[in-house]
Amino acid sequence: MSNAESSVLGIETSCDETAAAVVQGLVIRSSVVASQEEIHAMFGGVVPEVASRKHTETIVRVVQRALDEAEVTWEDIDALAVTNGPGLIGSLLVGVSAAKAYHITTGLPLYGINHLQAHVAANFAHDRENALHPDDLPAIILIASGGHSDIVYIETPTDYQVLGQTVDDAAGEAFDKAARVLDLGYPGGPAISQAAEDGDSAAYDFPRPTVSDTLDFSFSGLKTAMVRQVEEIGSPAADTPAEDPATVADLAASFQAAVVDTLVRNVMRATEESGVNHLAIAGGVAANRLLRKRLRETCNSTGIQFHVPPPELCTDNAAMVALAGTFQHGTREPENLSLGVFSAMPGK
């Protein structure tokens, strides 16, 4: 059977979402995400021990629900795909161990999927309007998440070349840290974006950092700039930020504008320099409304075709893992029980 028709069950547990999905060809049949956001919000960030324990409690039910919602049984599945890195080791191990158990009991081929490759693959989901099609390639893809801010050049759905990456914090991490300074809660991206709705993005002058003459990012200084600004205006974020919602809104809007400007600047430069006609975005930060709007406008005015998955395919999910598995199935040797996990990208 060609992978254009095969059904792949994907599993994702690299951070704080326990997710499973069934994809047939490049069409998503089900996508179940059990988020742990509420639990980690109490601690202001992901607690690895808590995350892996929750994955263990939930994974079997989530997989069963993915099969049920797709109205299929194990007999209908052709391959298993599981994220095996980068991510939190304890969390990854839960998904990979579950996938190995299903591999043993069903005999299905098993593929280990790189989480970033999965975010890229989200763009190829077919059941929507502005999907990226393999025939559109080459393309530039911005992967902006809690752990990554990568600009990649892809020639095929399975190969990619990193043109730029962050030298310190990722874009999502910057949002999360700034939200903590403003006491807006976790995850910070949606919170900052929400608070920014009523703010003036020109109220504060945050830096748009460059890293020499490269396409790399550096976001750690932005958080420091936010801390300084908060100290300077005498709004003690640790105590009473909510007392002045207008100031918080202006800070959030100005901060968001700085991150978005920086991402847009580098990604448009990469698109121009590589001469491609297609640009896509992926990862949790790709759910950001301002980023989507700005890239859509810039692409419209430069004749580049812009592709963006719906927000639920941008944040962590297993449909993207199954989609990545679809491209691997039949083109690569499947894994066996020695499949390992890794926490960071090689070389990082």
Q: Which residues pair with 153 in a beta bridge?
A: 140, 161
| Cβ burial, residue 317 (10 Å; 0-12/13-18/19+) | buried
Q: How many residues sit close enough to Zn ion to count as binding (CB under 5 A)?
A: 2
Q: Are 59 and 18 in contact (CB under 8 A)?
A: yes
**Cα–Cα distance between 223 and 140 in angstroms, integer?**
27
145 binds ligand KG4 (CB under 6 A): yes
Nearest CA to 172 out of 202, 142, 139, 214 is that of 142
Length of the chain: 348
Asked whether position 145 contacts Zn ion by CB under 5 A, the answer is yes
* Cα distance between residue 192 and residue 197, in whole Å: 9
Does 209 bind ligand KG4 (CB under 6 A)? Our answer is no
Binding mask 96-135 for Zn ion (x = CB under 5 A): ----------------------------------------
Answer yes or no whether residue 157 interacts with ligand KG4 by CB under 6 A.
no
Minimum distance from residue 257 beta carbon to ligand KG4 (Å): 12
Binding characters for Zn ion, 273-312, by CB under 5 A (x = yes):
----------------------------------------
- Torsion, Cα of 128, 108, 17, 34 (10° steps): 80
Least distance to ligand KG4, CB of residue 96, Å: 16
Residues 6+ apart with CB under 8 A from 297: none
287 binds, among ligand KG4, Zn ion, none (CB under 5 to 8 A by kind): ligand KG4
Distance CA 322, CA 12 (A): 9
Question: Is residue 7 involved in binding ligand KG4 (CB under 6 A)?
Answer: no
Positions in 286-305 near ligand KG4 (CB under 6 A): 287-288
193: contact with ligand KG4 by CB under 6 A: yes
**What residues line the site for ligand KG4 (CB under 6 A)?**
15, 145-147, 172-173, 175-176, 187-190, 193, 283-285, 287-288, 315-316
